Amino acid sequence: TPVEETLVLVKPDGVARNLTGEILRRIEAKGYQLVDIRLVEADLELLTEHYAEHQGKPFFEPLLEFMQSGPIVAIRIAGHRVIEGFRALAGTTDPTTAAPGTIRGDLGRDWGLKVQQNLVHGSDSPESAARELALWFK
Ligand code: DAT
Ligand code: MG
């Protein structure tokens, strides 16, 4: 299987809680290669495109608001089956029920935080990865 690339975002909650290093550590420990990395203050236009599939859902506006609340670390990583592999490292969307051992399960505090504050984003398919990498790494 050829090497894939995917987009990882450390969301504003992850950056604010100084978890970028811990998240990078887990990515590197798994054996994935860092290809590119940047600190981004994402604007509404970028975020609207990034989350286009969720437009019209009740959590769309709060999600975009949250994603503009502080800097994001955008990371391009490469590896064998890295798209599904990073999704497995991240854990399921809701940190409350994400499995222990995952980023969201281990580090996503349950103190009444909203689901959107789940530390990371990872592309969910080869099509999403190509589309999202083009948005965040022009
Ligand atoms: P994921 O980030 O696991 O791919 P998603 O693509 O379904 O999840 O949703 C994008 C983000 O939107 C997710 O990280 C957090 C937020 N979100 C999803 N479902 C939600 C819900 N039911 N209530 C509030 N926020 C939600
Ligand atoms: Mg998603």
Q: What percent of the chain has pLDDT over 70?
A: 97
Q: What is the DSSP letter of 57?
A: S
Residues 6+ positions from 68 with CB-CB distance below 8 Å: 12, 41, 42, 43, 44, 47
The answer for residues whose C-beta is within 8 angstroms of residue 45's C-beta and 6 or more apart is: none
Q: What is the pTM assigned to this prediction?
A: 0.97
Alpha helices in the chain (DSSP H): 12-16, 20-30, 44-50, 60-67, 82-90, 103-107, 126-136
CA–CA dist 87, 105 (Å, integer): 12
Question: What pLDDT score was predicted for residue 115?
Answer: 87
* 74 strand-pairing partners: 9, 38
Quick check: CB of 115 below 6 Å from ligand 1? yes
ipTM of the complex: 0.97
- Residue 112 pLDDT greater than 80, yes or no: no
**CB of 66 sitting under 6 A from ligand 1:** no
- Residues acting as catalytic residues: 121
Angle between helix 20-30 and 82-90 (nearest 10): 130
Q: Is 104 annotated as a binding residue?
A: yes
Could you tell me the distance, in angstroms and rounded to a whole number, from the CA of residue 128 to the centre of ligand 2? Answer: 9
Ligand lying nearest the CA atom of residue 86: 1
Distance between Cα 103 and ligand 1 center (Å):
15
pLDDT in tens, 41-78: 999 999 999 999 999 999 999 999 999 999 999 999 99
Check if 118 has its Cβ closer than 6 Å to any atom of ligand 1: yes
Q: Please say if the pLDDT value at position 26 is more than 90.
A: yes
Per-residue pLDDT for 113 more than 80?
A: no
Ligand 2 centroid–CA 2 distance in Å is 23
Whether residue 97 has its Cβ less than 6 Å from ligand 1: no
**Per-residue confidence (pLDDT) for residue 2, from 0 to 100:** 84
Q: According to the annotation, is 93 in a ligand binding site?
A: yes
